[in-house]
Amino acid sequence: MPVTVCVEVSSTGERSETVSLQSQASITEEEISIWVDEMEEQNSKRQKLNEALHSISGGRYSPVMSTLNMAWDDVSDTQQRYYIRKAKETTPTSLSVITPSKEQLVWKALQTEVLLGPNRDNQGKHKRFDPNSGLVDILVKAYEQAGHWQTKRQILSLFADDFSRAELQEMIHGLSKWSIDQARQHATEAGKGQPLPKIPSFHTRIEHEKVDHFIEYISRPEFVQVFGTKTLKNSQA
């Protein structure tokens, strides 16, 4: 079933995300299920963050309304300003707990550390792949021939950060923006080309006698009430 994410941005930069069942690019139901689980997890984490910020700041700041799941360069200036503003609000609030009364000093030290980092002389984004090399063509063919969405995501995560959305969609026909965003997120969280960590799932078999006992228990008259009866007759009888 195809799906797309509709993002509405208010004048303050806050976003609300909804799901539409109409899209130009096809996404499997399994991918939709994974996407819904990821969104629910993000919503849960954001709610916990908002509760903590509200408690620490005494309700001084508005809650964080959305999570950035796209590349920074792909969002609008309004959205960038929104996330920068929320970062400026949440960071000092966190520092007020970690280093009380020294927030400004620690914040300046963090900024200095970033400026003096080993990559400070690099200008622009470092690309691992030369678009003119044959390696990119091999990866694209591997992506197109992969039979499972997870394998496709792993392959795409290898070079999704090295090209813009438009460039990637030109390389791979029918590639959706959502697939690109998920591949970039995979590269950040799991590592480029790395498989997703397997989460153990435990199953417990219930004996039939216990199941029958449970059904018998919930079917007792004190739990099930019948409001009148009606006799049905077959017109052919």
pLDDT in tens, 186-215: 888 888 888 877 777 666 777 878 878 878
Cα dist. 71→13, 56, 177, 191 in Å?
17, 30, 11, 16
Taking the C-alpha atoms of residue 18 and residue 8, their distance in angstroms, rounded to an integer, is 8
- How far from each other are the two terminal CA atoms of the chain, in whole angstroms? 46
Amino acid at 162: D
The runs of H, that is alpha helices, within the chain are 29-57, 77-98, 103-115, 134-145, 149-157, 165-171, 177-189, 208-218
> In this predicted model, what pLDDT tens digit does every residue of 101-111 receive, in sequence order?
888 888 778 77
Say yes or no to pLDDT of 86 above 50: yes
Taking the C-alpha atoms of residue 55 and residue 74, their distance in angstroms, rounded to an integer, is 33
Q: Are 79 and 67 in contact (CB under 8 A)?
A: no
Strand duo 15-20 + 4-9: pairing: antiparallel
DSSP type of residue 164: -
Tokens found for residue 44: 């849960």
Say yes or no to pLDDT of 150 above 50: yes
For residues 73-91, give the mean pLDDT.
87
Taking the C-alpha atoms of residue 26 and residue 142, their distance in angstroms, rounded to an integer, is 19
Q: Are 20 and 4 in contact (CB under 8 A)?
A: yes
More confident position, 73 or 36 = 73
Contacts by residues 142-150 (CB-CB < 8 Å, ≥ 24 positions apart): 143/172, 144/172, 149/28, 149/30, 149/31, 150/195, 150/196
The pLDDT, as a whole number, for residue 51 is 92
Say yes or no to pLDDT of 93 above 60: yes
Say yes or no to pLDDT of 124 above 60: no
CA 29 to chain centre: 16
166: left (phi over 0), alpha (psi -120 to 50) or beta: alpha
Tokens found for residue 87: 């970062």
Q: Are 179 and 28 in contact (CB under 8 A)?
A: no
